Structure formats: structure tokens, C-alpha cells
Amino acid sequence: QVQLVESGGGSVQAGGSLRLSCTASGYPYVVYSMGWFRQGPGKQREGVAAIDTEGSTSYSDSVKGRFTFSKDNNKNTAYLQMDSLEPEDTAMYYCAARPCLYSYRPPNLKDDYRYWGQGTQVTVSS
């Protein structure tokens, strides 16, 4: 099975930057696209960004222009560069993988993602 491990979270002042990493291991039976989700205290888990197998990215309106999703296929690692962070970005961030057979569906449907990392905490202070 696919295993995902996130890293790069931490505490930062508003306006600062962080880069999250998601490293995948294992031998999946199908090709997967990747997504980043986040969940703040007492809130629902929401989609933040997604990238397909061809490198095409999409973002939620709340982070568009501030976050950048990229990947390094050689290292089997995905990255989420987060700039101009705001206190509202404070949350546990999760990396997830979705079978490409769901490509026709919106990329922010968390139930479509088969594998999840354990999360990395991001805290932004004012």
C-alpha cells in the first residue's frame, strides 16, 4: 500500500512562509494524483490544493496566489510552498492520494482520496 509522510510544519508569524513536504512510498496498483487538505480546531477538513499526474494544479480560493503545489517524481515527493501566511491558515495539514480514475470529479472531495498521511501542524500567529 501507499504510505505518505508529511513534514515541514511549524510556527510562523503572519506574513511568513513555510514549505510542506509529502514523501510517498510503496507500490500502488494504480497511478495517483495528490492533494493537500487542512483541518483547524473544531472545523471540517477542507481541500487546499491538488496536483494531477501531469503536473496540473488547482487551489482553493482562500489560498490561491499564496500557495504553490509542486512535485519531484524522482524523489517521489510533493511540496506545498506557503507564502503570506495568515492566522486563518492555522490547521493540521494532510497529504492525500487519489486514484486517477476519479479525475473527472472535483479534486476537493476528501472521500475520493484513498491514502492519507498523519498530518503536520501549521500555526500562524498574528
Cα–Cα distance measured from residue 106 to residue 112, given in angstroms and rounded to the nearest whole number: 10
**Which tens digits make up the pLDDT trace of 82-101?**
999 999 999 999 999 998 88
| Tens digits of residue pLDDT in 9-54 | 999 999 999 999 999 998 665 668 899 999 998 999 999 999 988 8
Which residue carries 493540521 as its cell?
92
* β-sheet bridge partners, residue 116: 96
Euclidean distance between CA atoms 71 and 117, whole angstroms:
16
Strand extents, DSSP E, 29-104: 32-39, 46-51, 57-59, 67-72, 77-82, 91-99
Task: Tell me: pLDDT of 102 over 70.
Answer: yes
